[in-house]
Structure 1
Amino acid sequence: MAEVEAAVEAALGGLGLDAKARLLAGQDMWSLPALPEIGLRSLVMSDGPVGVRGVRWTSDDPSVALPSPTALAACWDPELARRAGALLAQEARRKGVDVLLAPTVNLHRSPRGGRHFEAYSEDPYLTGVIGAAYVGGVQSGGVGTTVKHFVANDAETDRYTVDNRVGERALRELYLAPFEAIVANARPWGVMTAYNTVNGTTMTEHHHLVNEVLRGEWGFDGCNVSDWTAARDTVGALRGGLDIAMPGPRTVYGEALAEAVRDGRLTESEVDEAVRRVLRLAARVGALADVPPAVTEPPAPVDGVALARELARRSFVLVRNEGGALPLRPGTVALSGAAARDARALGGGSATVFPARTVSPLDGLTAALPEGTLRYAVGADPATGLTVAGAGFTLRAVCRDAAGTVIGACSAPDGRIQWMGADLPEGVTHDTLHSIELTGTFTPRESGPHTFGAKGTGAFTLTVAGRTYYDGVRLPAEGGDPFEAFFGSSEPHARVELTAGEPAEVRLAHVPARPKGVPFRGVAFSLVHQEPPRDPDELIAEAVAAARAADTAVVVVATTERVESEGFDRPDLRLPGRQDDLVRAVAAANPRTVVVVNAGSPVELPWREDVAAVLLTWFPGQEGGAALADVLTGAHEPGGRLPTTWGSLADAPVTEVTPTDGELRYSEGVFIGYRAWEREGRTPAYPFGHGLGYTEWAYESAGVTGSTVTVRVRNTGERPGREVVQVYLAPAADPASGTPRPDRPVRWLAGFAAAEAGPGESAEVTVEIPDRAFEVWDEADHRWSFVKGSYEIQVGRSITDRRITAAITV
């Protein structure tokens, strides 16, 4: 450490003011500038958290795609999270990435949060444990992390401008808690500050939370990176503790920072503090010459495909299994749901990566079941509009200059172009690029009228089968989300009769718009498509007929990018399209109906009591279909437990995500998630921690020594299994009233551990309860207060299925 600090000081001494200011500003979308005079190469960042996109945001540069963070949390397995992080470090090194922009450890405050699939849980303890393991795994591979979004970025509505009004106690006990745990237990090399404001101060300028809490109280010694375009003011950001303003080349740092020092608004010593932190990060990742990196020997190579499959099946949560419907018995299976054929592997937005392959449920079950035993019908399609070009398209992107000369080209497998900053095909620059042409063929799998269109802003010309259907310009909306200027919305432009199996030429020419107010250069647009419309009742009838003739019916239902994505929250929790109708109809035809729910966060399941089994698979990543076959056939047990309460929106105690007069008040205080459900006396569909396996468990004993809880469980079933033993802490009732204290939850998660045993065997686990579980934040004295007294240790399978108790007095 002393060697690194000495090298940092030597490098700092070799820089002038302009170089220092330049180092704190992104030079493009993803990187910081190199400073050869001190032996510093460029630092490269990339989005996660389920894969490493690299600097090329395109399907032409594939990445391993792991299941969604909600799936990772559903495993309740820190070691598995650490292995996931190690794989992502391996991917980052392969792609030349130094810093991964992950993990997201904001909380599931309201089930309407549109980006909750990218965060872990409603519970701060579980979030902190999984997040710390993930960070440890990534950094064990010599790659930095930026724990995000600091702090209270728990919804997407008006995320750039909202002022989240959070009480001090709730802020400390809930929203800051995962960050604090990760800083203490994993020592992250970076933190990303959020777009939003907290209690009147924008997070990129929040001196109290960044300098006094994060750095002062917790001892964080890493870099503070802004969320993209979040930094607003040069002086406010630097004094608020922001080290790096991204992206470039136009930021509040760079020339603006040097000017602020020269005119006396800032001092050079203030700039030096930020530069030290950036140089320390550079040293840790091996970007500073003659300084050994923090990790000189990366971990052993990880098989990304195998880990993606293991993580998926370990994350699946079996919430209902009546009559032993799962595992599947020998016989015929009727599979339905458009999401069974066209898998939803990932959530939308900046978390998107492009895997080399995606195994759909149809693919996985076709490979796993005996030939001739599986029949598929669409049944219902969750997509109610156009989606990116997928099955049947073979496309290439050709780049031209203003004279029409080809200057570069690359493949574009799904018709989606997202080139940000320097992320361009070889030989192409933003100065020379004038137009891009997506060209190739489409071979339909169904005959009928196919709809084609474009997503993005700028000039478009769409030609299908030799005929031009659209030639016009779409302009970005004024004053909206700056990323919306690039992505826009999907617009239909052509309806073309095509014949199944007969290729048709497709061409979408595009001249990008140059939206105002966006501090980086980029090109983003897509060719979009929709299959021929069919009568929804006819589709359901086909699925019902197949289900009636089969031994078991499996229905896959899903959300879409229009439901769960970065940039917006959900108006409701309903499944899109006619999927609920499909499930009801199939269940009426076959009592052995299994429903697979392909959603990253809670959705309403109004038919759940009418089906034999319900399996939640989250967004399961690229190997989701193979993992699903593993679980449905019984080759592996579903290993997941709910990291978040599932229930109806009408019953959910905390739902508001829309600001009033620019403010969103967290008036519920510390009562979110299961804390709020229990306080309100409401019964969810499936409680926090719930999940079934393929065996049964008896809880035999629980003992307490000091703060260590020892639990013995026995596998009373007929198969080997894994049980997540959950330990909840419940304070004794108020002596005066005989009821729980109104200012504290009824109980809260204090620890967990996994037990594995064969049939008839017992296993013992120990859980260490941290001191923080007994503490509350004292708003009067602004400090943690240890609450002495009697507590009940409640051990069980979920927040509501508590099997055994013990007492502890502290």
Structure 2
Amino acid sequence: MTDIHAHADTAPDSNDESVAEPAALLSGKDFWSTREGTGIRSMVLTDGPHGVRRQGGEADHLGLNQSLPATCFPPGAGIASSWDPALMREVGNALGREARALGVDVLLGPAINIKRSPLGGRTFEYLSEDPRLTGALAVEYVRGVQSAGVGTSVKHFAVNNQETDRMRTSAEVDARTLREIYLPAFERVVKEASPTSVMSAYNAINGVFSSENRWLLTELLREEWGFDGLVVSDWGAIKDRAEALAAGLDLEMPGTGDAGTEAILQAVRDGRLDRSVVLASVERLRTLAERTAPIADADMAALDLDAHHALARRAAAASIVLLRNENETLPLRAGQRVAVLGELAVAPQYQGGGSSHVSPTRVDLPLDELRVALGDEHVVYAAGYSRAGADDSEGLRAEARATAASADVAVVFVGLYEEDQSEGFDREHLDLPVAHVALIEAVAEVASRTVVVLSNGGVVTLEPWHDKVDAIVEGWALGQAVGSALADVLTGAANPAGHLAETIPLALADTPAFLNFPGEQEVVRYGEGVFVGYRYYTSVDRAVRYPFGHGLSYTTFGVDAFEVEAEGADAAIVRVTVRNTGERAGSDVVQLYVAPAPSAVRRPARELGAFAKVTLEPGESATVSLALERRAFAHWDVRAARWRVDPGTYRVELGRSANEIVAVRELPLAGDVERPAVLSLESTVKEWFGHAIVGPVLTQSMMDNATPEQQAAAEANANALKMVESMPMGQFARFPGVEIPEEALEQLIALSVSAAAPAAAGSVA
């Protein structure tokens, strides 16, 4: 339990009720809005992240009630595969303008938790398994939304990677894993985009709930990262209102009547909470109200929703990943007879379930859009399966099989339904519905060419049917323009340019968190550490079906030049010239990975260091300059509690994906020059003999004082020192035959102190 009073700035006044009105402002008025008072207006906060979910009637949190129509853009799982921060900013701006028109002050997004396991129930909302890709996209989302005068709430802070028991589970994560995997995206957004608010998560971190975690909300977020916005709870996350306020959580949502206010006032009366803490939070609420001041003439009628739908279509097309395309099966060609199979072609799944569910302004159907693009006479359809149940699946499958046999190409639409992927629960497997797999296999047996189109908010296994089909299109969850976007890519009107933002494994058992997800008895141990996603697969050389960063195109790209130049001791600038060597315009993603120098800690084989998307006409080339800043080479030094760049030679790798490296350059870096350690009698034998200054002196002294027999024995048994290297020197020095005098040890300790002093001023923080 946090000592609330220990963080007070001034002595409490137990008789002072002047904070009653301000304290009341720190709890919501109702489900979606805040209270007004002391010159602060009421504000509306609502979901996000991929569309405005403004409920006009009775409110709820689980998506059970309808919301007002708004553009449903591709959810995180889709748009992250675009690898396009500029596109993300466009979408963010459109979201902000719609939020403003619907009277929303704060859009609850982006959702940027790392995809630790493909079973996570909200992976359709989250962006990526990589913090650098996630952070780059999230920065532009925040900039886009806030450019329209609407606030954002970056969520869920932090380590909210599962839905199972999310209200009480403690995520047990070591400091290095927190710093390298689960916190960097939040840090980058805070430092680069200045979000108006951050939302605390439901779960606990190492035994302390996020909403009452002073280290997380104050020491890290505010004091270390410099966040000056509002911290709001996830809906219903707070366990102790006064503890949460003291920890740094300003606004409790939704409203709890007067319960939260009374808890704050009682803590002030008891001297456990200083009134200045209350007033500071109220001022942050006031700042939020000022930053999101409403525009009088903003309304949906004034918006060009057709333009927003066109943006949703472009964003969805950019998010589609062409996984497989044998014998140039795609794009579909004019005049081909195309069999469209699968009920998802007429009743598409384009978002997940839960609090982010959007009521779209319209929905494009894949079958309708393919008929428009190819001509009605060239497209035939059969359902193949029914969402309603399996009773008629065999008959529907037989009809689809016959339809496929009569066509030049069969396009099979399969995927997951909203009840398969939603907030509130995690998935139990990676399988597609049985009827969907049966349809794929039945069609592949008779069709001349088979294309599988996936609609799934989370990763699904492509086994055992992968090798039986000619092309696979990963559609993820694409938002309301799902049909037109898929038609654009399938027919070649748009060249596929998406790349996987998460790995598709061969089996669930291959995934790094398999043995530790979702935990047990209210605890989940992050035993895989920093080896999340592709960091794990590449480090252990584990085969995957499709790696992080993979994505095919209808054109080809080559590299004309690849140059790496060090900048100072711990950074580099990289220049890559990319050429479109094919016959179609297209977009490529330049992916730079960094392989570490030798290190005292275990590091992934490679980590994404930088990326850029470039669009080129046939034959056109462009040179991309990418900065690899200090953090691209650093790891979190747990002992020193800071980032460290090891001296040594790094490898800068140019990849088509995390698995396919096409060019490598070596990069020597001076890194961080560490001052020698100050030794003590508790320091180990290994630390003493390994000390740059003391070690050689100690070794020479012991050899000088040894008998010829002892010297010969030491030289003959090279492993003798290893047997005692973990022993404290004070204990080792008393061993018979060793017996290092106490005064000699004191002199050597003093030598280590003097050796450390000159370098202290130049050490790297």
- TM-score normalised by L of structure 1: 0.76
- Are 2:540 and 1:675 aligned? no
Distance 1:82 1:16 in 2: 43
Amino acid across the alignment from 2:583: E
Residue of structure 2 in register with 1:543 after alignment? 400
Distance 1:304 1:787 in 2: 47
Amino acid across the alignment from 1:552: V
Distance 1:271 1:788 in 2: 47
Residue of structure 1 in register with 2:737 after alignment? none
8 Å contact kept, 1:282–1:288: no
- Are 2:175 and 1:317 aligned? no
1:765-804 matches, within 5 Å, as 765-804=624-663
Residue of structure 2 in register with 1:128 after alignment? 135
Residue of structure 2 in register with 1:726 after alignment? 591
Q: Residue 332 of structure 1 is aligned with which of 331, 337, 341?
A: 337
Q: Deviations over 1:397-427 (max 9, x none)?
A: xxxxxxxxxxxxxxxxxxxxxxxxxxxxxxx
8 Å contact kept, 2:158–2:182: yes
1:334-483 matches, within 5 Å, as 334-381=339-386, 383=387
Residue of structure 2 in register with 1:405 after alignment? none
Unmatched runs of 5 consecutive residues or more in structure 1: 1-14, 290-297, 384-529, 735-740
8 Å contact kept, 2:597–2:647: no
Deviation at 1:300, TM superposition (A): 10
8 Å contact kept, 1:776–1:784: yes
Q: Residue 603 of structure 1 is aligned with which of 460, 467, 473?
A: 460
- Are 2:540 and 1:700 aligned? no
Distance 2:598 2:375 in 1: 58
Residue of structure 2 in register with 1:41 after alignment? 41
Deviation at 1:661, TM superposition (A): 2.3
- Are 2:306 and 1:307 aligned? no
Deviation at 1:623, TM superposition (A): 0.8
Residue of structure 1 in register with 2:482 after alignment? 624
Q: Given the superposition, is the C-alpha separation of residues 174 and 626 from structure 1 closer, same or farther in structure 2, using an over 3 Å criterion?
A: same
Amino acid across the alignment from 2:251: I
Deviation at 1:808, TM superposition (A): 1.6
SS of the aligned residue for 2:451 comes to strand
1:76-87 matches, within 5 Å, as 76-87=83-94
1:254-269 matches, within 5 Å, as 254-269=261-276
Q: Given the superposition, is the C-alpha separation of residues 803 and 376 from structure 1 closer, same or farther in structure 2, using an over 3 Å criterion?
A: same
Residue of structure 2 in register with 1:408 after alignment? none
Q: Residue 709 of structure 1 is aligned with which of 574, 592, 596?
A: 574
Distance 1:217 1:117 in 2: 31
- Are 2:521 and 1:651 aligned? no
Q: Given the superposition, is the C-alpha separation of residues 251 and 661 from structure 1 closer, same or farther in structure 2, using an over 3 Å criterion?
A: farther
Which has the larger share of strand?
A: 1
Rg bigger for which structure?
2
Distance 2:304 2:359 in 1: 24
Distance 1:355 1:558 in 2: 20
Distance 1:173 1:591 in 2: 48
Distance 1:537 1:315 in 2: 33
Residue of structure 1 in register with 2:428 after alignment? 571
Q: Given the superposition, is the C-alpha separation of residues 288 and 356 from structure 1 closer, same or farther in structure 2, using an over 3 Å criterion?
A: closer
Residue of structure 2 in register with 1:54 after alignment? 54
Q: Deviations over 1:319-372 (max 9, x none)?
A: 100000110023111011111110111110011010121112112212222121
Q: Given the superposition, is the C-alpha separation of residues 196 and 701 from structure 1 closer, same or farther in structure 2, using an over 3 Å criterion?
A: same
Distance 1:730 1:715 in 2: 27
1:683-694 matches, within 5 Å, as 683-694=543-554
8 Å contact kept, 2:169–2:522: yes
Distance 1:634 1:59 in 2: 36
Deviation at 1:135, TM superposition (A): 0.6
Residue of structure 1 in register with 2:521 after alignment? 661
Distance 2:326 2:355 in 1: 39
8 Å contact kept, 2:555–2:580: yes
Q: Given the superposition, is the C-alpha separation of residues 585 and 628 from structure 1 closer, same or farther in structure 2, using an over 3 Å criterion?
A: same
Distance 2:258 2:218 in 1: 21
Amino acid across the alignment from 2:658: I
8 Å contact kept, 1:41–1:288: no
Amino acid across the alignment from 2:481: E
Deviation at 1:159, TM superposition (A): 0.1
Amino acid across the alignment from 1:314: A
Distance 1:759 1:723 in 2: 12
- Are 2:500 and 1:642 aligned? yes
Deviation at 1:763, TM superposition (A): 1.8
Deviation at 1:199, TM superposition (A): 0.5
Q: Deviations over 1:403-452 (max 9, x none)?
A: xxxxxxxxxxxxxxxxxxxxxxxxxxxxxxxxxxxxxxxxxxxxxxxxxx
Q: Residue 753 of structure 1 is aligned with which of 612, 621, 627?
A: 612
Query: After the TM superposition, which of the residue ranges 235-244 and 257-266 deviates more from structure 2?
Result: 257-266
Q: Deviations over 1:193-240 (max 9, x none)?
A: 000000010000000111000001000000000000001112211111
Deviation at 1:16, TM superposition (A): 3.9
Residue of structure 2 in register with 1:410 after alignment? none
Which has the larger share of helix?
A: 2
8 Å contact kept, 1:32–1:44: yes
SS of the aligned residue for 2:124 comes to helix
Residue of structure 2 in register with 1:93 after alignment? 100
Residue of structure 2 in register with 1:557 after alignment? 414
Distance 1:583 1:301 in 2: 37
Over the aligned positions, Cα root-mean-square deviation in angstroms equals 1.9
SS of the aligned residue for 1:766 comes to strand
8 Å contact kept, 2:55–2:68: no
- TM-score normalised by L of structure 2: 0.80
Distance 1:130 1:227 in 2: 22
Q: Given the superposition, is the C-alpha separation of residues 49 and 700 from structure 1 closer, same or farther in structure 2, using an over 3 Å criterion?
A: same
Q: Residue 24 of structure 1 is aligned with which of 20, 23, 26?
A: 26
Deviation at 1:581, TM superposition (A): 1.1
Name the structure, 1 or 2, with higher relative contact order (CA <8 Å, separation 6+): 1
SS of the aligned residue for 1:30 comes to coil
Q: Deviations over 1:526-557 (max 9, x none)?
A: xxxx47x6422211111110000001100011
Residue of structure 2 in register with 1:238 after alignment? 245
1:171-190 matches, within 5 Å, as 171-190=178-197
Q: Residue 160 of structure 2 is aligned with which of 135, 153, 164?
A: 153
Unmatched runs of 5 consecutive residues or more in structure 2: 1-16, 60-64, 297-301, 670-765
Q: Deviations over 1:667-713 (max 9, x none)?
A: 11100100111223211110000000110111222102331110012
Deviation at 1:59, TM superposition (A): 3.8
Distance 2:508 2:187 in 1: 31
8 Å contact kept, 1:231–1:251: no
Deviation at 1:733, TM superposition (A): 5.0
1:486-497 matches, within 5 Å, as none
8 Å contact kept, 1:33–1:41: yes
Amino acid across the alignment from 1:244: L
Amino acid across the alignment from 1:138: V
Amino acid across the alignment from 2:494: H
Q: Deviations over 1:148-167 (max 9, x none)?
A: 00000001100001011000
SS of the aligned residue for 1:717 comes to coil
Amino acid across the alignment from 2:308: G
Distance 1:23 1:788 in 2: 52
Distance 1:808 1:210 in 2: 38
Amino acid across the alignment from 1:729: V
Distance 1:631 1:683 in 2: 28
Q: How many residues align?
A: 632
Deviation at 1:569, TM superposition (A): 0.6
- Counting aligned pairs with the same residue, the percent is 45
